[in-house]
Amino acid sequence: MSYCLNPVCPHPENLANTELCQACGSKLLLRDRYRVLHALGQGGFGATFLARDESLPGQPHCVIKQLRPTATAPHVMQMARELFQREAQTLGKIGNHPQVPRLLDYFEASQEFYLVQEYVSGSTLQQEIKRSGPLSEASVKQFLSELLPVLQYIHSNQVIHRDIKPANMIRRSHDCKLVLIDFGAVKNQVSAIAASVTDQTALTAYAIGTPGFAPPEQMAMRPVYASDVYALGVTCIYLLTGKSPKDLDYDPATGELIWEKHVHISEHFTGVLKKMLEVSVRHRYQSSSEILRALDLEPYLDSLAGSMNSVAARTDGVKGDAKDRGHDSQDSSSPVARAAMAIRARQQQRSEATSLQPGAARSRVIAAKPTTATLRTKNTGGHIDPSGVRSLGSGQKLDAEGLQSYYDKGKRDFAAHDLTLLKLPRADLSGAVFHQSNLRQINLQGANLFNADFGRASLNRANLRDANLGRAYLSNADLEGADLRGADLSHAYLLNANLRGTNLCGANLTGAKLTEEQLVMARTNWLTIRPSGKRGMW
């Protein structure tokens, strides 16, 4: 079928390969190459069509967005033209991302403006929910982990989407990746009132976005990057409940969406969504990276708690000593100390909540007798703690036998210690904490390091070949030149880790958190399993 784009055509549908519209006589082949097949959608300022590019081999499909200014006064047309060109430039800039449709062409014809974009075959998230029902918490977290980097990319290019919603996210058929569509190129134009108001008002006299998904500041024509965060939060509620925002109640006093009674999700995820949905921009997450950090930290809170508390305890000791000497300490402002305080506050809240439950028993601390066992170390900077295991002094140098002895007796915290050149092949150190430790050129070949914490640790030229690093925390770790051939890194957290020259040939990265930019710096081969679970080169 050939579809006529004349907005006043009484019968726009024509037979395929027809040159002129049978109803109005308009030319059907747009710009002598694009044949419109049918309409995809229509709004107040234009329409979207599926078309075929007959000038290219195979005649691939594309999407044509047509803008129809509501007035033809010269100053209105000029403003519409400038805004159209700016939108085209924006789409051209951000269309290099694999999850954003590419801009293929843009032009003006008969006082109407056209954008031609890549066609994405698939179903929208709105269609998926209507067909299959609401998603689980895990599925919504997976959705966020896939879409937040896209939003981060868009914002880094100084673009605010302004219409984040399930209907504008397509799950691409051939690879199941989410693609974010509709960047306001059609709607972000001169309003119907523009012809009778000032030039300034003509560009900003109406709110852009979908009511219910758009936050208050956006509807008041003052959108910021955090406006997209709010809309993404509402999208999550839709995915969890299957309910549109218009089907949910609002708190008349605060304007907040009332949604918690409709979902069954964890306390932590509830807190993340509540902060995304803050009515006040000031109290909302300001960026995608903040949400990613909040979501990515959750699985590691328990394993990090020991490390953070240990480091914080040493920091508190240093701070106390500094006060005794009459000096101020800045250690409490360090990222490690702040993380420790946050985790301890979270644990304290849990304890208080438990103690308030009816019939809850009070916990008792029973101190075990100190032992006099001497554990093999290269200095005596440690002391005996109440558990009977000698505590390690900060920066203390351990040998391999001493470290293994500590671990076998229940010690897990080896944070901020010098462990260079140790030989621990096939050692079982699962769940151990090596946060900020120096492990340069350590030999951990074939070791069990499942769920271990290597945050900010130096693993430069370490031998981790065939090691089990499943769910290990390696944020900001230095893995330059490390040997990870055949290592299991499934679901490991590697964001911000230095992978320059890291050998990942044959490594299993299924579900791992890292970027393609990081992997470009590493060595991989056809045996490397990507985070998607597929095997092959990057």
Q: Does the structure show a pLDDT above 60 at 93? A: yes
List the structure tokens of 198.
Answer: 């000032």
The pLDDT of residue 252: 87
Q: Does the structure show a pLDDT above 90 at 302? A: no
| Annotated catalytic residue within 32, 53, 163, 199 | 163
Backbone angles phi, psi at 533, to 5 degrees: 95, -5
Q: Does 350 map to a domain?
A: no
Instruction: Tell me whether residue 428 is one of the annotated catalytic residues.
Output: no
- The better pLDDT of the pair 447, 85 is held by 447
The pLDDT of residue 195: 32
Q: What is the pLDDT of residues 189-233, one digit of tens each?
A: 333 333 333 333 333 334 467 889 999 998 888 889 999 999 999
**Average pLDDT of the segment spanning 450-476:** 92
- Tell whether 256 and 395 lie within a shared domain: no
User: Which residues of 184-296 form beta strands (DSSP E)?
Assistant: 249-250, 257-258
**Average pLDDT of the segment spanning 87-92:** 81
CATH number at residue 151: 1.10.510.10
Q: Assess contact for 207 and 218: CB atoms under 8 A.
A: yes
- Tell whether 399 and 513 lie within a shared domain: yes
Q: Does 346 map to a domain?
A: no
Domain end among 118, 147, 173: 118
The sign of the CA dihedral 279, 281, 286, 290 is: negative
pTM assigned to the model: 0.55
- Tell whether 537 and 464 lie within a shared domain: yes
DSSP string, 310-328: HHHHHHHHHHHHHHHTT--
CATH number at residue 477: 2.160.20.80
Q: What is the pLDDT of residues 376-416, one digit of tens each?
A: 333 334 443 433 344 454 445 788 998 998 888 888 888 88
**Average pLDDT of the segment spanning 83-99:** 82
Q: Does 370 map to a domain?
A: no
Q: What is the pLDDT of residues 230-283, one digit of tens each?
A: 999 999 999 999 999 999 999 888 889 999 999 999 999 999 999 999 999 999
Euclidean distance between CA atoms 440 and 431, whole angstroms: 20
Residue 94 banded pLDDT, cuts 50, 70, 90: confident
- Tell whether 397 and 518 lie within a shared domain: yes
- Tell whether 425 and 524 lie within a shared domain: yes
Count of other CB atoms within 10 angstroms of residue 217? 17
- Tell whether 143 and 272 lie within a shared domain: yes
Q: Does 175 map to a domain?
A: yes
Q: Does 174 map to a domain?
A: yes
Query: pLDDT > 70: what percent of the chain?
Result: 75
Q: What is the pLDDT of residues 305-363, one digit of tens each?
A: 444 444 444 444 444 444 443 433 334 344 444 555 555 555 555 554 444 444 443 33
- Tell whether 213 and 95 lie within a shared domain: no
Count of other CB atoms within 10 angstroms of residue 263? 17
Burial classification of residue 246, based on how many CB atoms lie within 10 Å of its CB (0-12 exposed, 13-18 middle, 19 or more buried): exposed
List the structure tokens of 60.
Answer: 């691939």
Which strands make up the sheet holding 169-172, listed edge to edge?
122-124, 169-172, 178-180
Residues composing the chain: 538
Parent domain of 80: 2-118
Residue 71 banded pLDDT, cuts 50, 70, 90: low
- Tell whether 128 and 276 lie within a shared domain: yes
Q: Does 300 map to a domain?
A: no
- Tell whether 458 and 513 lie within a shared domain: yes
- Tell whether 86 and 138 lie within a shared domain: no
Residue 329 neighbours by CB under 8 Å, 6+ apart: 318, 319, 322, 323
Domains identified in the chain, total number? 3
Query: pLDDT > 90: what percent of the chain?
Result: 41
Domain end among 118, 148, 178: 118
Euclidean distance between CA atoms 451 and 432, whole angstroms: 8
369 is in an annotated binding site: no
Q: Which of 205, 242, 257 is nearest to 70 (CA)?
A: 205
Euclidean distance between CA atoms 376 and 501, whole angstroms: 35
Q: What is the pLDDT of residues 129-155, one digit of tens each?
A: 999 999 999 999 989 989 999 999 999
- Tell whether 64 and 143 lie within a shared domain: no
Residue 44 banded pLDDT, cuts 50, 70, 90: low
CATH number at residue 100: 3.30.200.20
Q: Does 109 map to a domain?
A: yes
DSSP-derived 3-state class of residue 523:
strand
The structure tokens 């059609």 sit at: 186
Domain end among 286, 311, 328: 286
* Chain center to CA of 402: 41
- Tell whether 96 and 139 lie within a shared domain: no
Q: Does the structure show a pLDDT above 90 at 431? A: no
Q: Does 91 map to a domain?
A: yes
